[in-house]
Each structure stands twice: as C-alpha cells, then as structure tokens.
Amino acid sequence: MKNILVTGAGGFIGGHLVKRLISDDYNVVAVDIKKLEDWYQVNEKAKSLSFDLRDYDSCLKIAPGIDGVFNMACNMGGMGFIENNKAECMLSVLINTNLLRASIKNKVKKYLFSSSACVYNADLQKDVYVDGLKEEDAYPALPEDGYGWEKLFSERMCRHFYEDFALETRVARYHNVYGELGTFDGGREKAPAAICRKVADAKINNKENIDIWGDGKQTRSFLYIDDCIEGTLKLFNSNFREPLNIGSDEQVSINELVNITEKVANIKLKKSYQLDKPKGVRGRSSNNEKMIKNLKWNYTYKLEQGIKKTYEWIYNELKEMNPKSKKFQKSYK
C-alpha cells in the first residue's frame, strides 16, 4: 500500500500526518478545502490540492489510484465553536459519505475515519473525575449535540461500508489532541492551545490575570500530536475494525492544566472564572485497555512534556507576531 490520500491536510492533525507519511516514504495526495496559502504545513513532496469534499464529484477526482485514505477533514473546533455551530459541524457527514462512496468506486483498499471522544454518552460524563470511557460506552447513544452525532453516524457508515462492500475501515476516537502547528486563537482552538496562548500573552505583556471558562474543575485527558500520529498509523496498519480510543488516560482539571502551563512559563497568574462560557461535559478521560491490547502500543508523552513544546511554539508565534498565527481564524465554509 503505497499511494495514500489525506483529507483535512491543511489542518492540525492532517498536516502532521502528511509529514510523517512522507518521511515514511509514502506517495501522498494531500487535500483540504482551504487555499494552500492558508495551510499550516504544505509538504513539497506531497501532491497538495484544494477541493470541497462535501461534493461527490470532487471526491471522485482525487481518489483514482489511491490505496489508502485517511479522512481527517471536518468542520470543527473547541467547545466555543461546536456548541454554537451545530449545523455546520453536522454537514461534515457529507465529506465522509462521499469519500466512502468514491473509495468504493475507485477500489480503495483501506479507509480510516477520524472520530472523537465527543461520541460518548453524556450521562457518563457528569462527574468531575470519571472512569476512563470504554469504546462500548458510546451506546446507548447520547453524544455531544451536533458534532458528536455527526461523528457517531459517520462511524456507523464506516462499519456498514465494510459489511456491505468489504472496504477495510478503521475508526480512531481521538481524545483532545494538542501540539504545535495548530490553531490557538480565533474561536476554534481547544483548551491546551487556548491556555498556552493566554499564559504566553500574559508573559509577553506583563499581565497578572488569566480568564478560565467555567469553574476550572472540569476534567479532560489530552494527547500530544506525536502520539496521536503514531497511534493513528498503528491502528491503520492493524486488523482491528471497531472504533478505538486514541488518547491519554492522564486526567487533569482545567485548573491543573493552567498550573502546568504556568510552571512551564515560569509565571503565576490570578485565575478569573467565566461561568457563562461553554464548558462541555463535566469530566472525560480515555480508557486505553483495547488500544494497548490491540495495537501493542501506548502513548509516551506526559502532559507537561507536550505542554512545554506547545507553549514554546505559541509563545514564539505571539512574540514574533507571525501572520501564520492568524490563519485558523478563518471559517471553514
């Protein structure tokens, strides 16, 4: 399997995935809806294209000769975005639907769909500290409204395309992936990037306060991008066909995430809590038992290690006022 298609290649995970596949000597077609100048990473060794994959004909054009597909494309962002753009998030179902159809038409051998921990039943995430979510906890279904429903439906599409058309499908349920070369402002950023930006801004501009959405007690586990890419490739090359967590089980509160970032930045700030902001579920973490068993692999980066690398990159972006730092303020439309 040599010819690989990566969709969402102009985004965060997709950009890192293209870089890794190129380094592993694959022939890569990289596609995103954004113009190339708006991509965070454009690899000269990949064939980089701009297409709207909500259109079936566009999917047909990019799929000929492809052996494997990594579908990383969707309209998404942090909690502030997905709670206020549910219809836009759900329209991403067109991307997965049309890519699956085009994959069958063009005899693609294997297809990986990037899902999310937002598919999990919200009733299991009402306490601050919760047991790690197991793959079977997605049912009975009560996912994050909008974004989570799209992901869960698309997971089922992958399952049925295997059952009906023998397309080998893989589903990665990502848990809060973070790292360098991703959005950190403009409303689509997730908690680690937002916290790193706020701390870096305070450090640069001698501020004393930091705004936190909610009471700071809500918990998550966060997965560093290098581990995400490694786990994704392990899953793609495995024989495991069911949805699988790709995440960390290092569960921390947002307050603890701020403390870790402050430690990395060597600064101490006064926390100001914004209780009217979107907060998402109360607690969420990944159970990695199936991941470890079936992939013979586990994540390696501790949160402080990953936050250090992420903070340093965001700090430098803000310090240098690099125009690229504003790229992901643009809406995916």
Give me the phi and psi of 230, to 5 degrees please: -65, -45
Helix axes 147-165 and 93-105, enclosed angle (nearest 10): 20
147 catalytic residue (yes or no): yes
Distance, CA of 93 to CA of 112 (rounded, Å): 15
CB-count exposure of residue 270 (10 Å: 0-12, 13-18, 19+):
exposed
Q: Which of these, 5, 11, 136, lies nearest to 67 by C-alpha position?
A: 5
Q: Hey, what are 12's tokens?
A: 């965060």
Distance, CA of 197 to CA of 90 (rounded, Å): 28
Given the residues 26, 147, 178, 315, the one annotated as active site: 147
Q: Hey, what are 252's tokens?
A: 């921390």
Determine contact, residues 13/228, Cβ cutoff 8 Å. Answer: yes
* Residues with a known catalytic role: 147
